[in-house]
Structure 1
Amino acid sequence: MSRIAIVGGHGQVALHLHPELVRAGHQPGALVRREEYRDELEGLGAEVRILDLEGQDADAFAAAFDGCDAVVFAAGGGPDGNIERKRTVDLEGSLKSIEGARKAGISRFVQVSAIGVDDALPADTGDVWRAYVEAKRDADAALRDSDLAWTILRPGRLTDDPGTGRVALGDDVARGDVPRADVAATVAAVLDDEASVGGQWNLVGGDVPVADAVRGAGR
């Protein structure tokens, strides 16, 4: 059994990820800032660790990661119009997670990003969307430049549709929708596949079973 620290442990992808990890024989650790989430998360099989993603530093992240074998960054500032939180959550949260993993001696790191964030933005892009894309882009660049054993997943438009267990995963996969449940299943699969280290892949709904898609993308 491996212990997996999940930053953004009460997020919509994370809520699907905890039971996926339990089914795979791992112990998820949900890093959240509110004690009130404990009962719900423990009901999904997760250990709860309290961490204020925005208010605490990399040393606190390292302490929260203690005893874990891998880190998943699945946090996001949400769909609101708060530009500042795109920086403090999506970028700075990732940077502190990367540094915290290093301080804790953890090499394996999986980041949930977003499709197309390296593409040039149209001139009429709104300020909030621009801030979000730039935060995800810079967080991915920082992780690629780190010495961690990283994998970056870049989902398309997230939906609450039931998971299908089938995806399209790869460098050149076009934009599309993907259920959050299938994103979670893919995160769990790449954690168990050493060949996924160093992979940065787009992820949308598709026809290939998740395990096969991960094996194919990593080779």
Structure 2
Amino acid sequence: MKHLIFGGHGRVALLASTILVGDGHTVTSIIRNPDHAADVERTGATPLVLDVETADREDLVEAMRGHDAIIWSAGAGGGNPARTRAVDLEAATRSMDAAKEAGVSRYVMVSYLNSRLDHGIPESEPFYTYAQSKAEADEHLRGSGLDYTILGPGSLTLEEPTGRITVIEGGATGSTDTSRGNVALAIAAALDSPASIGRTIGFIDGDTPIADVFS
């Protein structure tokens, strides 16, 4: 299978690329900075330099043609509300529309735990733009007609992956630590499981084998 990853130089994306290539898939990773190409190549993926913030729909369609699945793991990184909205909402939704035009129906979104339109975060809070952008993007994906899976990991850590998670439905209490490695494994599991299509799965590090969650 041929997979296209947006946000290809992020830690989750690099880990996912390594896993997917190791499983025998062909991976193209979209990056904004050409200096990051070598890091992508070390995973076995092929880098494609494209700035998703400025790329138009035609650019995205061209990049997507011939692929079997899209993985959105891009993000503005916070700190700039205008850029957050431009990447996490506008570019994300543009990629969904482009995927339909390119004939790529499978789409895996890396969102965050408890992303929802009724998040209740005041507009005066710095986190508001990110929360609203991700929630609107997730909702657009649900109505897109694509074969989507939305992954909602908790607070990302650099801990080694355990291959085990706990699914969270509703609000989470206590620690929401989630290894980036477990998120990468969840991406691979979602792509391998037709049963994950149409699901939104919030999770943290836990006790259930990832394969079981996506079966």
Calculate the TM-score normalised by the size of structure 2.
Answer: 0.93
C-alpha distance in structure 2 between counterparts of 1:184 and 1:131, whole Å: 25
- Asked whether the equivalents of residues 189 and 214 of structure 2 are also in contact (C-alpha less than 8 Å), the reply is yes
| Structure 2 unaligned spans of 5+ | none
Secondary structure of 1:30's partner?
Answer: strand
Separation (CA, whole Å) in 1 of partners of 2:195 and 2:68: 17
Q: What secondary structure is seen at the aligned counterpart in 2 of 1:106?
A: coil
Aligned residues: 212
Question: Is the CA contact (8 Å cut-off) linking 2:97 and 2:144 kept in structure 1?
Answer: no
The CA distance in 2 between the partners of 1:173 and 1:106, in whole Å, is 33
Secondary structure of 2:172's aligned partner: coil
1:159 match: 157
Instruction: Using the aligned pairs only, state the percent identity.
Output: 38
Distance 1:153 1:58 in 2: 24
What's the secondary structure of 1:71's corresponding residue? strand
Match of 1:70 in 2: 69
Q: 2: CA distance between counterparts of 1:186 and 1:126?
A: 33
Contact 2:76 2:87 in 1 (8 A): yes
The one-letter code sitting in structure 2 at the alignment partner of 1:137 is: A
Q: 1:13 maps to what in 2? A: 12
Check whether the contact 2:114–2:171 (CA below 8 A) recurs between aligned residues: no
Residues 170 and 203 in structure 1, CA contact (< 8 A), matched pair in contact too: yes
Q: Write the deviation string for residues 62-93 of structure 1: whole angstroms up to 9, x where unpaired.
A: 111122110000111114x2111110111112
Structure 1 position 54 matched with structure 2 position 53: yes
Closer, same or farther in 2 for the Cα pair 1:38/1:120, shift >3 Å?
closer
Runs of 4+ off more than 4 Å = none
Task: Give secondary structure in 2 for the equivalent of 1:128.
Answer: coil
Match for 1:137 among 135, 138, 144? 135
Q: Secondary structure at the match of 2:5?
A: strand
How far off is 1:126 after superposition? 4.7
RMSD across aligned positions (CA): 1.5
Residue in 2 aligned with 1:111? 109
Q: CA deviation at 1:128?
A: 2.5
Instruction: Tell me the amino acid that sits aligned with residue 209 of structure 2.
Output: P
Q: Secondary structure at the match of 2:95?
A: helix
CA distance in 1, matches of 2:109, 2:40: 21
Q: For residue 198 of structure 1, what is the amino acid of its counterpart? A: G
> 2:167, 2:57 → 1: CA distance?
31
Give distance in 2, aligned partners of 1:159 and 1:87. 24
- Whole-Å separation in 1 of the counterparts to 2:200 and 2:88: 17
Letter in 1 for 2:200: Q
TM value normalised by structure 1 = 0.92
- Counterpart selection for 1:100 from 98, 102, 117: 98
Say if 2:152 is the partner of 1:168.
no
